[in-house]
Structure 1
Amino acid sequence: MDSRDWIRDGLRSVAGGLLAIPLAVLNLPLFVLSVATLILGVVPFLGMVLFPLVTMLVRARANLARRLAGGVGVPIARPYRPLPDGKRLGPWRYYRWILTDPATWRDFAWLVPGAVIGFALGALSLAVPIYGLEGVLLIPLWIWLGTGWYGYGAIWPFDTVGDAFLSLPQGALILAIGLAVAPYLRRFDALFARQLLAPTRNAELRLRVSQLTVTRADAVDAQAAELRRIERDLHDGAQVRLVSLGMTIGLAEEMVETDPAGARKLLAEARETSSAALADLRHLVRGIHPPVLAERGLDGAVRALAMALPMPITVEAALPGRLDTPVESAAYFAIAEALANTIRHSYAHTAKVQVRHTGSLLIMQVSDDGLGGADPTGGTGLRGIERRLAAFDGTMSLSSPPGGPTVVTMELPCASFSPKTTPSSGTA
């Protein structure tokens, strides 16, 4: 790891520790409010009003803890039950829905131990670097100005200026240790939070079923839209040309004896029409499954796609073999759509495509040097990529700050490969 990386990570973790202290303190009044509303729950109607409100605050605090844990590499999914059938509930049913959700009680159980652990680790991740910084910056200055008796680290008290300046290496060492250890302290805090804030096994199964239901609906909608597109392309393209071809050949049959020259002219038109119809069919097939994808695999197909686009595109691919055909097709079209968005909207001069396999994931990244500011809610392109990937349990993330660069990262689960050529890389 580069020295700048661990220093940056350490400073970020120290800032996280500074934030953890007031957040930990906030847990305590939330716990008191939770206990109070549970006690007041025996009062008719009062509990139905106060308990859901306090639960909303507790869930907001727990969700913030989950988000912060994700920032240090410990993702925690939200375990809450969805509303029944997505409907609005009356006060009593809503109160009962929150009361019977196990995640509600796990949030309450986390408040006090989460406060203790969060405060202790936050204070420790903050105190050690501050003490090291004190030795580097403050102690020599104080002693030099003659502030009197003082000590630091292993030297108590300072008897000479030389003793005072011995705090410099001690402070530098303590500061380095504090910055190096702070990320591990933040991660330990996140791992502890995950013990109570993460979904249980049953909750994970419910979330999985809900996710698969949405994914299946999206896949069915996408398949229906694709079938409608194919039907429309056949009806408006190849079918029209074939009908025209049949009529032209019929006229040529009638004229073959009375006007041989005219018949030959009609047959020439028929040949041109048949070539155009064949081109339409090839274009249609290419949109379903490009031949180059079947022949050369994902890396070769992406390279061919990049060469055909009006922009310098660097392609780096490192795959151990051929993917399963459905996964390979989904990956290709996801990259193609991301590149199409780059061409249409980014005002970029260059783009880069990286494809690699890590563990059981196929990771694809499309980046450009354009203006940035891409928004998945602003059009159908990025949403289409999300739906295509979701059908295979894949995900898409977007980084596109104003001014650029834009980076689209797509991940597809895939564990199986068939033998193929060696990995390749280069510029298209």
Structure 2
Amino acid sequence: MQPVPIRRVGPLKVSGVATAQVLLLVPVVVVLVLVVVSSVLTVVWVGILLLLAVLPLGRLIANAHRRMAATVLGEPVPAPYLPVPPGPLLGLRARALDPATWRDLLWMLWAMTGGFVLSFLVFLLMVAVVTLPLWWYAAVPLMRARSWVDRAILSPGRTEALERRVHDLTASRAVVVDHSAAELRRIERDLHDGPQARLAAVSLSLGLADDLFDSDPDAARKLINEARGTSSTALGELRDVVRGIHPPVLADRGLTGAVSALALDMAVPVELALDVPDRLPAPVESAVYFAVAECLANTAKHARANQSWVTLHHDGRVLRAEVGDDGHGGADLRGGSGLPGVAARLAAFDGILSVSSPVGGPTVVSWEVPCAPSA
């Protein structure tokens, strides 16, 4: 979901932030000095032990200043850190090789010099009575200037953002490829166990009927009737397989009609709020349709719910969806294969899925997918 913007604040609030930054000067200096000393001492084990403690502390301080910059600027300042693997030595190596760690050290130099001057100036203007009018008008611009620099240094750079984007796309592509391979295996299994076996039975029955036409016409007629019934069953199973690949109702009626058809088949009442264009890109429609179908199937099988709802809204750039129920809750994105499969399918389109399902309910599965309406 889109982050909720933080409200901008006035002189009194930014002065509190400035005071906190002035007080945090000593920890910033201590951490920077310890990092330098520890790096020199890495030739012995003492330096490694110091870095194990100092680098996480440096991130705590940098994150505190990110939050303060977000408070002043009125918008989030994300942390660009890469995931840290378990284990002290692996974690130390990951932090040392993370470009964000070096950005933190660069920021500490700024925080000790120009950043401290701006924050201390705001603090002085606030505590000196004769400068209160100047403080009232200058506090916010001064602190916004510092926060802009803090954000520029502490936020992900363009290169880091692109690298992370490539990493995320590579991971999502691998998941989608695995999911596609699993889908192909499922289709092959469904065809082998269902229509293929029935069509073989039809062929056998027709062959036997052909042999019995002259000697026992009644038995031949019975075999033909059985073959007709078996072929009808095979046709229905083929339709089910095709529907699992790309539902005909989706191609004929679009996403709104297809989701409405899903709701009609539910035993639990489903409230619909569908506000989407007539047509979206076909791959996105298919992914969202199967996401809704999986969520409603989970509701029917596991939730013991009395009511369910589906919300789809497209604002011209992003399709946002929500499927919920008033059941007993307990759904987990990490368990089973249904919701993780949905997340993998949506990730191929930069989709983001989240699950809220406390014990006792309700369960709400929401996601958003960037897409433009089809012409």
Counterpart-to-counterpart distance in 1, 2:21 and 2:218: 91
> Shift in Å at residue 58 of structure 1?
2.0
Deviations along 1:193-220, one digit per CA (max 9) or x if unpaired, are 5322221111111111111111111011
What is the aligned-residue identity percentage? 46
Q: Which of 36, 40, 47 is the matching residue for 1:38?
A: 36
> Shift in Å at residue 94 of structure 1?
5.4
> Shift in Å at residue 54 of structure 1?
1.2
Counterpart-to-counterpart distance in 2, 1:15 and 1:343: 50
Stretch deviating more after TM superposition (314-323 or 256-265): 314-323
> Shift in Å at residue 375 of structure 1?
2.4
Counterpart-to-counterpart distance in 2, 1:79 and 1:297: 40
> Shift in Å at residue 230 of structure 1?
0.3
> Shift in Å at residue 266 of structure 1?
0.5
Counterpart-to-counterpart distance in 2, 1:347 and 1:55: 49
The alignment of Structure 1 onto Structure 2 pairs a total of residues equal to: 347
The answer for the alignment partner of 2:51 in structure 1 is 51
Amino acid at match of 1:259: D
> Shift in Å at residue 61 of structure 1?
4.5
Amino acid at match of 2:80: P
Contact 1:318 1:355 survives alignment (8 Å):
yes
Counterpart-to-counterpart distance in 2, 1:104 and 1:385: 35
Counterpart-to-counterpart distance in 1, 2:118 and 2:264: 53
CA RMSD of aligned residues (A): 4.0
Q: State how 1:333-348 maps to structure 2 within 5 Å.
A: 333-348=290-305
Q: Which of 221, 237, 243 is the matching residue for 1:286?
A: 243
Query: Secondary structure at the residue paired with 1:355?
Result: strand
> Shift in Å at residue 372 of structure 1?
3.1
Q: State how 1:99-110 maps to structure 2 within 5 Å.
A: 99=96, 101-110=98-107
Counterpart-to-counterpart distance in 2, 1:257 and 1:27: 103
The answer for the alignment partner of 1:258 in structure 2 is 215
> Shift in Å at residue 334 of structure 1?
0.8
| Compared CA separation, residues 250 and 104, structure 1 to 2 (3 A) | same
Contact 1:398 1:408 survives alignment (8 Å):
yes
Contact 1:302 1:332 survives alignment (8 Å):
yes
Contact 2:268 2:306 survives alignment (8 Å):
yes
Counterpart-to-counterpart distance in 1, 2:37 and 2:236: 75
Counterpart-to-counterpart distance in 2, 1:281 and 1:250: 23
Contact 1:215 1:390 survives alignment (8 Å):
yes
* TM-score for both structures, normalised by structure 1: 0.69
Deviations along 1:300-350, one digit per CA (max 9) or x if unpaired, are 100000110111101111122301111110010011112222223333211
Unaligned runs of 5+ in 1: 1-8, 128-181, 419-428
Contact 2:79 2:155 survives alignment (8 Å):
yes
| Compared CA separation, residues 110 and 387, structure 1 to 2 (3 A) | same
Deviations along 1:128-154, one digit per CA (max 9) or x if unpaired, are xxxxxxxxxxxxxxxxxxxxxxxxxxx
The answer for the alignment partner of 2:132 in structure 1 is none
Contact 1:79 1:207 survives alignment (8 Å):
no
Deviations along 1:209-250, one digit per CA (max 9) or x if unpaired, are 111111111011100110010011001000110110110000
Counterpart-to-counterpart distance in 1, 2:269 and 2:326: 11
Contact 1:395 1:410 survives alignment (8 Å):
yes
The answer for the alignment partner of 1:167 in structure 2 is none
Unaligned runs of 5+ in 2: 1-6, 127-139
Amino acid at match of 2:58: V
